[in-house]
Structure 1
Amino acid sequence: MNKGFSLVEMIIVFAIMSVMGTVVLTTYMSIRKTGDATRAGMVQVAALVNANARARVMESDTDWGVKVSSTSTTIFSGASFATRVGVRDAVYSIPNGLTITGPSEIVFAKFSGTPSLVGTTTFSNDYGTSSVYVWLGGIIGN
């Protein structure tokens, strides 16, 4: 009787391990991608709440806003992103590969916190969707 493994046994074990590895990796990637839209939505809500609070307390005696792009969410001071005071920016990255729909820039008026516009910003990919709402009066939710 020979001791050890035959070539056929080693090939079978390797094939089984390859299939199991593929299943685990695919599941992991799917779970990770599912959370991307949720994370982006949470970052957006936090940024909007922060900008609204800064506007209401009249920090730096100016309006505050939020600009979302494909890679980041930026809290800025000023009447618009184009005319902002860049040194006050707070930039937060969001996951890549998301489709973003809705308003890309919302500015809150100093003291009242009234948003320049109301609407829904949606972050989505093939695995999930997260929506962020801005209502009249500066109410923010998801």
Structure 2
Amino acid sequence: MIFSKNSRHKEGLLRESKTFSRGFSLLEILLTVSILALLAGVLSPVYFSMQSRDSLEAKTETVVSSLRRAQILSMTGENDSSWGLKILENEVVVFEGNDYLTRDTVYDDIIKIDSKIITSGLDEIVFNKIVGDTNDTGVVTLKSTTQERNIDINKKGIVNY
């Protein structure tokens, strides 16, 4: 192969013009990080609000189903006794007996609940044996950071929420 001076020169120019820089510039990286930070800032409150709402709903369902369980146990005369529910900070307890303090702890059914939800109002409800009504009427209030749920218990033992 024969090379002339001009062909080498042209070949060198072609080689130089085909070089590309690889990677990202600092501006591109900063722009991408800024967009991601903006998205995280906008979406995180929505996520935490949904999480708080779901936690409140779960605790409400736990309390209501535990109330109904205690009422059914009372109405069926399980162990020939009344049954009730005690709502504590991190748990609810379905118990056998006329009150939480004098209960038979052998029959306690303890259900853990989310401590981020604050409870107020009634904290102990006892259902009368066989009939299933209660003398503990009122409202159990469950509060998250953004929402509130009320569970009403009337004299007949009917639970509304």
The answer, yes or no, to whether TM exceeds 0.5 is: yes
The answer for the alignment partner of 2:57 in structure 1 is 38
* Percent of aligned pairs with the same amino acid: 25
TM-score (norm 2): 0.82
Which structure's CA Rg is the greater one? 2
Q: C-alpha root-mean-square deviation of aligned residues, in Å?
A: 1.4
The answer for the alignment partner of 2:14 in structure 1 is none
Pair 1:12-2:31 in alignment:
yes
Higher relative contact order, chain-length normalized (CA < 8 Å, sep 6+): 1
Shift of 1:65: 0.2
SS in 2 for 1:123: strand
Q: Read off the aligned partner of 1:18 and give its amino acid letter.
A: A
Task: Give distance in 1, aligned partners of 2:122 and 2:94.
Answer: 14
Task: Give distance in 1, aligned partners of 2:49 and 2:24.
Answer: 36
SS in 2 for 1:33: helix
Shift of 1:96: 1.6
Aligned 8 A contact 2:135 2:155 in 1: no
Shift of 1:49: 0.6
Q: Deviations over 1:59-88 (max 9, x none)?
A: 001110000011111100011111111121
Task: Give distance in 1, aligned partners of 2:109 and 2:146.
Answer: 28
Aligned 8 A contact 1:37 1:98 in 2: yes
Higher strand share: 1
- Please, which runs of 5 or more residues in structure 2 have no aligned partner? 1-19
The answer for the alignment partner of 2:16 in structure 1 is none
TM-score (norm 1): 0.92
Shift of 1:23: 2.8
Which of 62, 66, 71 is residue 52 of structure 1 equivalent to? 71
Aligned residues: 142
